[in-house]
Structure 1
Amino acid sequence: MLLPRTGAEILVDGLIANGLNSGFGVPGESYLAVLEAMRAKSFDFVVCRHEGGASMMADASAKLTGKPGLCFATRGPGAANAMSGVHVAAQDGTPLILFVGQVERGFRDREAFQELDYRAVFGSIAKWVVEIDDAARIPELLSRAIRTATQGRPGPVVIALPEDMLIDRAEVEDAPPVVPAETWPGLADMAQLQKLLWAAKRPIALVGGGRWSEAAVARLTRFAERFDLPVAATFRRQMLFRATHRCYAGDLGIGPNPKLLARVTEADLVLLIGGRLSEIPSQGYTALEVPSPRQTLVHVHADAEELGRVYQPALGLNASPAAFAASLEAVQPPPGGVAWAEETVRAHDDYLGWSGTVPAHPGAVQMAEVMAAFATLPEAAIVTNGAGNYSSWFHRFHRVTRYGTQAAPTSGSMGYGVPGAIAAKRLFPEREVVALAGDGCFLMTGQELATAVQYDLAIVVLVFDNGQYGTIRMHQEREYPGRPFGTGLTNPDFAAYARAFGAEGFSVGGAGEFAPAFAAARACGRPAVIHVKMDPEAITPSTTIAKTRAEAEAAGR
């Protein structure tokens, strides 16, 4: 016999029935009934200090688990604050559900207190936006939301919850568990893929996007081994192929290895699995011609609408990466072997050379020391980061060797590192978690250190402080050499800032200081921040401010 429950109870019970028993958010009076239902059901609600941080935590949770990340925000300003993480999820293809409070149903369209039209506000970002007016429909609409967020190309869904609806009572079953549909390639498609591979002379595989799993990565690896196929990761997707594997060719991010980029542009077959090859990995849409690539393009994507959206493929396979990887088990190399095996060896050697020696740069603190200490992390350690040139050192020189150890925004959103690390440590308390942030990046969400302290999450945050929005300064020097404006920063003592929250704080400003500080931060058992004072000239492994300016001036800018 069904018992009447409030809308809030139906919602929380439906989440738990779907294995979604944790989320992140900032409390608000517009969804008090949901908070009460969470309390009664022992739902793991992580209280955050800003909705932007909460939504980025939800995104990181989804990236690391494959399950929808949950964020809860109050109406109006809370929803607007949460939009930053929703945009990350949209561009990155991450399953996320944002629950936002709404004014009472009888008050709508009067511009009531903090009222927003959520369909208008989020309609161009989210995959679906819905406002639930009837508590009895919560199971139906929640099931659809979970399925929409996870199927095809994953992405964010926004659910608005009118305050009075949450206390209405209804007699309904829980939302049934949702199992996302896997789209499988046909036998004829896989036969055509094998035919194209047998005819190729210089193929390369590119991996990216979502809908992967540890098993799918293992199957792709076995396929690459059978075909001696070089495999490159797209921007911030290095965890999809082990960097130490003989078939790994590197990553197509910002400032990629020129030899890798040449391999892609000169390939006769590009097998793109899961990704979109958007602006960053395509190097401004130059690696492949738009709309008709010179290379034979095989594009595998879980969303049929992505096939041919930018690049017209010779063979488009509407399949999730997990289903496609399973189907690869039947694809066999030609009886006489492949023609490119030696080139795959050279591709991996080129990657090792590109990522092997950290160049010196201006300043007492050298990234070579930082990267040497970083190499002591265990294989299972999780690394998160936001946007900024500081991250280019880690993408190039840190070798990712395990699935589920990387959470970073391919959308290039600042402020992601700290929230991402908090989510990772909450999910995997037994694993080491390190966040990377620039000085500008850190202060966008650095207040979430309070969340780490509150929940005793021993993350380590590296703050690279060069006293400027370094990436933007670099672009300024390229376009307007010698005329910086609006990019200088006056920063606090980040170590003291951390201690004010109850975390540990360390300062690094000289040669030989980073390694002992990093070891102490990892061992302290508490949240810790290492303030790394960098020379403003040290921008990326390939350039400095002075070099960028000189090149721009020589070009007559």
Structure 2
Amino acid sequence: MPRIKGGKAIMDSVLSYGVDTIFGIPGGQTYELFDALYQRGDDIQLITTRSEQGAAYMAFGYARSTGKVGVYTTVPGPGVLNSGAALTTAYACNAPVLSLTGQVPSHGIGRGVGYLHDVPDQLGVLQRMTQWAARIEHPAHAPGMVAEAFRKLTTGRRRPVSLEMALDVMSEEAEVDMLEPTVFDEPVRPEPEALRRAAELLKTAERPMLYIGGGAVEAGEEILRLAEHLQAPVVSQRGGRGVVSDRHYLAHSYPAGHRMWPEIDVVVAIGSRLKYPRMHWGTDAKLKIIHIDIDPTELRRISTPTVGITGDAREATAGLLQALEEAGSTPRPSRREEFEALQAEMRQAFDADIQPQMGILHAIRGQLPDDGILVDEITQVGYASWYGYPVYQPRTLITSGYAGNLGYGLATAIGVKVANPDRRVISINGDGGFMFHVGELATAVKYQLNLVIIVFSDGAYTNVARAQTKRFGGRVIGTDLTNPDFAAMAEAYGATGYRVSTADELAEKIRLGFEQDGPVVIEMPIEKSDFPWKYLLLPQVRSDAQPAS
């Protein structure tokens, strides 16, 4: 067996799993990792970022837009903690992100000596932000530990993991058996009896619905076949958008799902917690719930379904359709006319009620091909995009899920563009969130990444100001912002900067922006916007409780 250093044992093991990009910043406890990268030459693309949080968000964007493992590296202590917001976002969105971090000298871990970047129980912190975190104690252990990390990243529920190694172990030479990469094939197959019981419910259902989440992103073909057989609407809020193209008459927005909810008798939740319908729209004894999830702990987290099915979304959905056919179910008459009318009605309502956001989203959609990717933000246009932006393919609307991290968007969009160099990528930002990672604009310039970054400027944390106004009678505090000239700032970074005032001008500058060689920032001032949460904060519409007399 060859004698190699611990840092090289980690890096060579990671790269053996087909990793082609790593995001990060070299630091004292990770020098050996970066030297190992240097030795691999063109085998790996290193994206040097301007912050550890930016590196982690870029790895998140890489993973979310491709389904592949996104990898980043940080120094311990402050580096790990800086990346924590992105790790929790990856956890919320079931994104396969691998964090590689250093540690203080092995003999000092947990002693509180005060070594550079030391924090109490770093491994414990990481274990609480990931599905699995471990310390590699010896170079010879690296290949096996990396293999275990990739097993967890690529099978079952795909959430982030972390590996750490002390700086002296990274420098230590030892005999290391460099294992061949393992192809993990551990499908979670559904129980036939659960599929049979679900099929019996659906066979007699009069108004079925499919409600899908991010766990269904690889099961689009199977979901559409099941939906067409049942003539059931397919509803999603964020994570499942595009799994069934919004051009299809069975694809429906979250508000449209709420409109139909009182009449639904059987709902099939696929790769989704079904959180908002259960907790906000309401349930009753007439509603039967079939819940499909790869993680059995999700099936009873909120409430117990009528039928719970543990399994991969693709296999379970295909199995459910097969069980239906075996039970004698035949394809139902088309509801195209009914559903197309509902789609048109909802689009008209959004356009009438939510401006200028909908006009802006139309301008964006018009400049992106079907496979173009929109990265949202915690901003007024972002909220409206969850229901008002047409999505035609999976993984083309990137959000932060329930993490709801303000400021995540720009760095995430850079990771998306790195992962998808030949696809058009647009990042939308409020002026508040944009400034969280504005330094990463320098990263986009350095690597000449042609993505279009739109900044909607109104000089405030608008959502907070609106909530304070409503809840506290106009007592608004801490929401005013002082902004630079964003277009001029972009030029100072070496990017292209534009300023527009209308949706038509925005569409034209987006078109011009995609003709440039590097990143483009478009500032669009917005003085007033309609309340986008009108179609998200939806009331309860069914319940077993009897009204008070």
TM above 0.5, yes or no, is: yes
1:451 to 437, 443, 456: 443
Mapped to 2, the partners of 1:435 and 1:521 lie a distance apart of 12
Mapped to 2, the partners of 1:300 and 1:192 lie a distance apart of 13
Mapped to 1, the partners of 2:250 and 2:502 lie a distance apart of 38
1:460 to partner: Cα distance: 0.3
1:4–1:267 Cα change, 3 Å: same
User: Does the alignment pair 1:244 with 2:247?
Assistant: yes
Secondary structure at 1:297 match in 2: strand
The equivalences for 1:66-77 within 5 A come to 66-77=67-78
Equivalence for 2:280: 286
Equivalence for 2:542: none
8 A Cα contact 2:62 2:418, kept in partner: no
TM-score w.r.t. length of structure 2: 0.90
Secondary structure at 1:413 match in 2: coil
1:338–1:56 Cα change, 3 Å: same
| Cα offsets for 1:371-412 (capped at 9, x unmatched) | 235323211101112222221232333210112322211021
| Range moving further from structure 2, 313-322 or 143-152 | 143-152
State how many pairs are aligned: 527
Equivalence for 1:127: 131
Mapped to 2, the partners of 1:336 and 1:45 lie a distance apart of 53
Q: Which amino acid aligns with 2:281?
A: A
Mapped to 1, the partners of 2:151 and 2:357 lie a distance apart of 47
The equivalences for 1:2-401 within 5 A come to 2-42=1-41, 43-108=44-109, 109=111, 110-116=113-119, 117-169=121-173, 170-174=175-179, 176-179=181-184, 181-210=186-215, 212-213=217-218, 216-251=219-254, 257=255, 259-278=256-275, 281-282=276-277, 285-289=279-283, 295-328=287-320, 330-332=322-324, 337=330, 341-342=334-335, 345-356=337-348, 359=351, 367-368=358-359, 371-401=362-392
| Cα offsets for 1:104-133 (capped at 9, x unmatched) | 112222232111222332332211121111
Equivalence for 1:549: none
Q: Which amino acid aligns with 1:469?
A: Y
Mapped to 2, the partners of 1:444 and 1:527 lie a distance apart of 17
Equivalence for 1:434: 426
Structure 1, unpaired ranges of 5+: 252-256, 544-557
1:163–1:535 Cα change, 3 Å: same
Mapped to 2, the partners of 1:180 and 1:44 lie a distance apart of 27
1:193–1:358 Cα change, 3 Å: closer
1:336–1:318 Cα change, 3 Å: closer
For the aligned residues, what is the CA RMSD?
2.4
User: Does the alignment pair 1:473 with 2:465?
Assistant: yes
Equivalence for 2:518: 526
Mapped to 2, the partners of 1:466 and 1:331 lie a distance apart of 54
Q: Which amino acid aligns with 1:40?
A: Q
TM-score w.r.t. length of structure 1: 0.89
1:513 to partner: Cα distance: 2.6
8 A Cα contact 1:66 1:211, kept in partner: no
1:230–1:345 Cα change, 3 Å: farther
1:241 to partner: Cα distance: 1.8
1:177–1:541 Cα change, 3 Å: same
Mapped to 1, the partners of 2:273 and 2:424 lie a distance apart of 31
1:180 to partner: Cα distance: 5.0
Mapped to 1, the partners of 2:296 and 2:377 lie a distance apart of 30
8 A Cα contact 2:212 2:236, kept in partner: yes
8 A Cα contact 2:246 2:390, kept in partner: yes
User: Does the alignment pair 1:407 with 2:395?
Assistant: no
1:361 to partner: Cα distance: 8.0
Structure 2, unpaired ranges of 5+: 536-549
Mapped to 1, the partners of 2:450 and 2:456 lie a distance apart of 19
